[in-house]
A and B are shown apart, each in its own frame.
Chain A
């Protein structure tokens, strides 16, 4: 069985900004290991130059014409904003690069 450690899950939870209890971390580590093993069986069924499927439909090159469509007004854009100033979304300062 695949090794998914509690630390792996904790790391992923941190990256995904999901808060998890100790109990949830333990449980998820066990469940993810089972899921990874199940998914791994798929690779036994395929071989050679087959691309990993990322879309259920066998489509390629779905493109749009480069023509301008509708836009929102600034008021509409900001309807769901927790806070706004000068037509812009206002967010807490984050110490990071621009």
Chain B
């Protein structure tokens, strides 16, 4: 028997694409944000003490019966519609049977050959605005499994001494979205992968049917990758990289798998059909479980649940409730805000579209809203290792700060300090400015004039230049005046005083 080569050094991305074309496929699991689980009235909540959001159904105790959460079905239909799918007039749940401790009843209640939604598509906008259509095979309803923690010396699955199970997640409603094979993405395959998952996330967030937080596992992606020799049309053997849970990781995982497959195939080897685990540290994948008997799930229709029938009237009613598709919304906002394409892309990449939209709705101009969110708020969030949205800055706060600037009561620099105090929980901008005495130094007491006079006296050469008509030199006096007034001077006011003193028309 000759050993088959299954491992070789990955090619570079460029080499891989010279020889092969990638074929992609995605399975994205979306956790719905219903109040209760798919088949039981236990709460669907995150972060609670282990095994406290469960009842007899979630634990799969003998004799218990599931009852379908009507809201979850509604959400699944909405998602199907947003994915441009057909909605099944008749469908059923099925038992997917396997033995694993995360699934206490030894089957996952899912859908098999009768998904609630099928034959859709999503037009994905790539970074340069090019549209790539991804065909959707199906979107079906199922339940999430419990969470395993592998305990022992390594903390990893390999070498674990035992596992601990928390069933709080068991039974949370999921919709699994499965694409058809995606051909023709070429060098843009990794970018498309990221953009696709991002688009799905935006859609479920826009529909408000999921919390859509990838870091919490609300949206999870399994990425299928295969490579076929250039010029051929027969798909190669695929690998499935499981649970890639950030947009960046999706992009890197697809890129790495393309290079790995190409390396093995170019060396005359064979790709093993298997699951792969994404390794964030090394940005590589490692071998998981080969496809085996364990994948013979013996699906059959769930006898404890009755079929679901949708009427055209109900589906159309749900369709009429759909929000503006995220891609359309982006095009509308780009036109309305007047940002450059690059500025807009940066906002989208930073995930701040909603925040800026809400801030604009609170009466702030788009450019000012962008400046705050992309600038100071992002900086403060970064320093705290948080997402900008998690900093707790309300649109009303930015509106209030901006009003204080426009009224000339504080300057930009002080406004940034005020924001920091807001984040620290000291109150509204108005309260902070009052409490800390941050208002711009007015000249009622002559303090500003005194500071200007002092600066002029200490910088006779600058004064000479200004007097000679070089008005830009006034800038050199602003610094000393700011220092004297602890930053609370209004630069425009300083300029006025300097010009008045020198008898120059401003």
Question: Which residues of A approach B to under 8 Å, CB–CB?
Answer: 11-12, 14-17, 51-52, 54-55, 57, 59-74, 77-78, 80, 85-98
Contact = CB atoms under 8 A, between A and B. Distances in A.
Interface in B54-100: 54-56, 59, 61, 67-73, 90, 92, 97, 99-100
Contact of B160 (A59, A80, A93): A93
A84 B292 CA distance: 31
B43 A71 contact: yes
B54 A77 contact: yes
Interface of B: 34-36, 40-43, 49-56, 59, 61, 67-73, 90, 92, 97, 99-102, 148-152, 157-158, 160-167, 242-243, 275, 277, 288-289, 293, 296, 298, 300-303, 305-309
A91 B43 CA distance: 25
A65 B162 contact: no
A64 B72 CA distance: 10
Contacts of A60: 90, 306-309
Which 4 A-B pairs rank lowest in CB-CB distance, beginning with the nearest? A69-B41, A63-B70, A54-B301, A88-B164
A71 to B, nearest CB: 5
A58 to B, nearest CB: 9
B43 A96 contact: no
Contacts of B34: 66
Contacts of B51: 72, 74, 77-78, 87-89
Contact of A86 (B50, B54, B56): B50
Contacts of A77: 51-52, 54, 59, 167
Given A63-B70, A69-B41, A74 B52 contact: yes
Nearest to B276: A97
A95 B69 CA distance: 34
27 contacts: A11-B296, A54-B92, A54-B302, A60-B308, A63-B68, A63-B70, A64-B68, A64-B69, A67-B41, A69-B41, A71-B43, A71-B52, A72-B51, A72-B55, A72-B56, A77-B51, A77-B52, A85-B151, A86-B50, A88-B51, A95-B158, A97-B242, A97-B275, A97-B288, A98-B102, A98-B148, A98-B242
Nearest to B298: A15
A91 B49 contact: no
A66 B209 CA distance: 13
Nearest to B277: A97
Contacts of B70: 63-66
Most buried by B among A67, A71, A91: A71
A19 B209 CA distance: 44
Nearest to B296: A15
A98 B41 contact: no
Contacts of B149: 88
B344 to A, nearest CB: 37
Contacts of A96: 100, 157, 289
A69 B42 contact: yes
B245 to A, nearest CB: 12
A67 B165 CA distance: 26
Nearest to A74: B51
B55 A91 contact: no
A89 B60 CA distance: 14
Nearest to A68: B43
Given A89-B51, A95-B158, A57 B42 contact: no
B317 to A, nearest CB: 15
A69 B171 CA distance: 14
Given A51-B307, A89-B51, A71 B42 contact: yes
A93 B152 contact: yes
Contacts of B164: 85-86, 88-91
A64 B150 contact: no
Contacts of A93: 150, 152, 160-163
Given A15-B296, A67-B36, A85-B164, A61 B308 contact: yes
Contact of B157 (A55, A78, A98): A98
B285 to A, nearest CB: 12
Contacts of A94: 100-101, 163
Contacts of B49: 74, 87
A74 B49 CA distance: 8
A90 B102 CA distance: 11
A68 B35 contact: yes
B50 A61 contact: no
A68 B306 CA distance: 22
Given A62-B67, A80-B61, 16 more contacts: A14-B293, A52-B301, A54-B303, A55-B307, A60-B307, A61-B309, A64-B67, A71-B43, A72-B51, A74-B52, A88-B149, A89-B167, A93-B152, A96-B100, A97-B288, A98-B243
B101 A87 contact: no
Contacts of A61: 306-309
Contacts of B293: 11, 14-15
